Amino acid sequence: MGQNYSGPGAGYAPAYQLSGVPFVTSSNGLELDSTTVATRIQFPSVTRWIQVSAHGSGELNLGFTNNGVLGFGGSVSGSQGNVAATGVAGGEGVGDHSNFLVISGSSAAENSTLRLELRCKELFFVKNADSAHDMGFSLIAGLTGIPQNQFPTLTGSQGFLGVG
């Protein structure tokens, strides 16, 4: 190996073929008391997969950027827009910029995401605007050996559409 070898990068396939190193964290619900300030979880290395459970009787938004999870993300081709916000279907409304997954905390059988085979270096959580209750979460992820500084920052301004 040459002197300029920086280690495995984002596209290093063997790192995703191994079982992931476990990473687990949970919130107590107090971190997600706002619908306007996101909680950021940074992983020590790039994920191979993630799974999230919501705790509480409301809904939790999960996204890959701060803007995306707060509904300020970029437009995605084919999105409907929010007629109420703009008066015109397909306009620049919140529905046009909501780059997040909504997870319900209503019952134990329904409050978990599937195991998502996603590689990322951070996640963002915020209480859904329709949730009046405290919301918490549990997160488990399988990590690769790829350092997070070897993975790109996911942002719509760098061509990653649908993340915000």
Q: State the DSSP string of the chain.
A: --TT-----TT-THHHHSPPEEEEEE--SSTB--SSS-EEEE-SEEEEEEEEEEESSSEEEEESSHHHHHT-----TT----HHHHSSTTSSSGGGT--EEEEE-S-TTTSBPPPB----SEEEEEE-TT--S-BEEEEEEEEEEEEGGGSPPP-GGGT-TT--
pLDDT of residue 8: 80
Domain of residue 126: give its range: 14-64+99-146
What's residue 80's pLDDT?
Answer: 46
152 located within any domain: no
Structural domain count, the chain: 1
Average of per-residue pLDDT values in the chain: 76
pLDDT of residue 140: 95
Q: Is residue 4 part of a domain?
A: no
Task: Judge whether 155 lies within some domain.
Answer: no
CB-based contacts of 105, cutoff 8 Å, min separation 6: 54, 55, 56, 57, 58, 59, 60, 111, 135
Sheet order of strands, 21-26 included: 21-26, 136-147, 45-55
Residue 151: inside a domain: no
Over the chain (164 residues), the average pLDDT of each successive run of 10 is: 67 83 86 81 94 85 87 62 37 59 70 83 86 81 91 68 61
Query: Which pLDDT does position 35 carry in this prediction?
Result: 77
CATH number where 23 lies: 2.60.120
* Any domain includes 139: yes
The pLDDT tens digits for 42-52 are 999 999 999 99
- What is the C-alpha to C-alpha distance for residues 29 and 111, in angstroms, rounded to an integer? 15
> What pLDDT, on the 0 to 100 scale, is given for residue 81?
43
Could you read off the pLDDT of 139-161 as tens digits, one per residue? Answer: 999 999 999 888 877 766 665 66
